[in-house]
Amino acid sequence: MSADLKAGDPVIVRNDIPTGHCRTPHYLRGHKGEVVSILGTFADPEQIAYYQKGEPRVLYEVRFAANALWRDYVGSPKDTILADIYDHWLEPADG
């Protein structure tokens, strides 16, 4: 699995509700973020959870603006949430 995305790329988290073990929190699904860094390649924990051999997945650190995630966010417009998300959950977005 190659890293198709690079730091700075805008992405959208797939808005999907698959059954079973997921490592992408619901509150980020369907939201737009930006790739901060490539964290490496890991065996897919969503498959390992079911005793399958985890396929290699590229893991990205993705940044989200707190005030874009939450309506009525109380804080600074600078505030961010960073999450680690596997490649099969990310789609390229328009800048």
Partner 1 sequence: MADTHDHHEHPHGHDHPHGHDHSLTFQPDHPDTEYDLLEAALRELLIEKGLITARQIQQQIDSMDSRGIENGQELVARAWTDPAYKARLIAEPMAAIKEMGIDMEHQPEVRVVENTADVHNVIVCTLCSCYPRSVLGIPPAWYKKKAYRSRVVTEPRQVLSEFGTDIGDDVEVRVHDSTADLRYIVLPRQPEGTDGWSRDRLKALVTRDSLIGVAPVRLPA
Binding mask 9-48 for partner 1 (x = CB under 8 A): --------------xxx-x-----------xx-x--x---
Dihedral angle sign, alpha carbons of residues 55, 32, 15, 83: positive
List 12, 67, 79, 88, residue binding partner 1 (CB under 8 A)? 79
Residue 56 as a binder of partner 1 (CB under 8 A): the answer is no
77 Cβ partners below 8 Å, 6+ apart? 65, 67
**Which residues are 90's β-sheet partners?**
13
Q: Is 55 in the site for partner 1 (CB under 8 A)?
A: no
